[in-house]
Amino acid sequence: MDRIVECVPNFSEGRRVNVVDAIVGAMMLPGVKILDREMDADHNRSVITLAGEPAAIEQAAFRGIATAARLIDLDMHRGQHPRIGASDVVPFVPLRGVTMDDCVAMARRLGERVARELDIPVYLYERAATHPERRDLAHIRRGEYETLKQEIATNPDRAPDFGPRRVGKAGATVIGARPFLIAFNVNLATSELQIAKEIASVIREKGGGLESVKANGFWLREKNIAQVSMNLTDFTITGMLTAFNAVKAEADKRGVQVLESELIGLVPIEALTQVAAQALRLPGLSASQVVEMKIFGESVV
């Protein structure tokens, strides 16, 4: 596989295993690997991670959306997590041999098809957004399904990018393209939540800190420690070691030690070669020097 796209669809079903089984089953196609599957009953939501050849992934995403529309009724859905649709949000992520523009094109093509074949309103978001404010998922999802249902026909700001100005029981779907997101947390040797919150507010982009970093402070009850929790929304701009060092420097200023960090979910190999390149002053390091990548990639002969 020389060209690989990741897709991380979020479905509004986190309780009925057979429904999630059916959705995942519909997405299992040749050329598609299911990398992860998470169900959350409180959120009543599931997050599936798939990767593979672009055309196969696009088709799998369509089949997942169609199956969710058939089996999930938003009028009956309750859960803590905000949502506007049975297939709530469907991002494409370029992984290998594929550009962001390719993923934007996939998002638009899929959006048009979902609207046409399934009669579902589609909003394009992040890099695929057609309006600046729609880059932000929270903006599109404001008021959730219940508000959208009332406003979609009359509020011009609610006009979908594709499909009807009315929602059925499957709600609406947000489709887009974005870089790989790394969820990376740093645990501090203090129980003071305030310190983690302060550090988060200084290092995040919104606070004038590191570009492409979202951050928040949390208190971990079981460990009784404070944590700086980060989303690195484009690690090619700010990577893990830069983010870690920034948290450490701010912790040092406050006389607090860093205990350890934790990675939630997966990282692309380039995010690791980037860390090693920085730590070892090894600017030429590339994923093609990793023996497993050579083995699983093509032969050099």
Q: Label residues 67-97 b or e (16+ Cβ within 10 Å = b).
A: bbbbbbebeebebeeebbbbbbbbbbbbbbe
Minimum Å gap between C-beta 152 and a copy of itself is 35
CB 152 within 8 A of CB 121: yes
Of the candidate spans 103-111, 146-154, 199-207, 261-269, the one that interacts with a copy of itself by CB under 8 A turns out to be 261-269
Closer to a copy of itself at the Cβ: 133 or 260? 260
DSSP 166-215: S--TTB-EEEEE----EEEEEEES---HHHHHHHHHHHSGGGT-STTEEE
Minimum Å gap between C-beta 39 and a copy of itself is 13
> Which residue from 66, 152, 230, 267 is in contact with a copy of itself, where contact means CB under 8 A?
267
Minimum Å gap between C-beta 225 and a copy of itself is 14
Residues 51-110, interacting with a copy of itself (CB under 8 A): 51-52, 95-96
Closer to a copy of itself at the Cβ: 224 or 299? 299
CB 287 within 8 A of CB 296: no
Minimum Å gap between C-beta 287 and a copy of itself is 8
Phi, psi angles (nearest 5°) of residue 133: -70, -20
Minimum Å gap between C-beta 296 and a copy of itself is 4
Closer to a copy of itself at the Cβ: 220 or 287? 287
Round to whole Å and give the CA distance between 136 and 153. Answer: 21
Contact pattern from residue 21 through residue 40 relative to a copy of itself, giving x for each residue in contact according to CB under 8 A and a dash for the rest: ---x---x----xxxxx---
By CB under 8 A, residue 293 contacts a copy of itself: yes
Round to whole Å and give the CA distance between 293 and 252. Answer: 38
Closer to a copy of itself at the Cβ: 167 or 182? 182
By CB under 8 A, residue 255 contacts a copy of itself: no
Give catalytic residue positions. Answer: 81
Round to whole Å and give the CA distance between 56 and 52. Answer: 7
* CB-based contacts of 215, cutoff 8 Å, min separation 6: 199, 200, 201, 203, 204, 209, 228, 229, 230, 231
**Three-state DSSP state, 45:** strand
Minimum Å gap between C-beta 4 and a copy of itself is 6
Q: How many residues does the chain have?
A: 301
Q: Is 214 left (phi over 0), alpha (psi -120 to 50) or beta?
A: beta
By CB under 8 A, residue 269 contacts a copy of itself: yes
Of the candidate spans 145-153, 192-200, 204-212, 252-260, the one that interacts with a copy of itself by CB under 8 A turns out to be 252-260
Round to whole Å and give the CA distance between 38 and 224. Answer: 26
> Which residue from 30, 156, 208, 284 is in contact with a copy of itself, where contact means CB under 8 A?
284
Q: Which residues contribute to the site for a copy of itself (CB under 8 A)?
A: 1, 4, 6, 24, 28, 33-37, 51-52, 95-96, 180, 240-241, 244, 258-263, 265-269, 272-273, 275-276, 278-285, 287, 289-296, 299-301
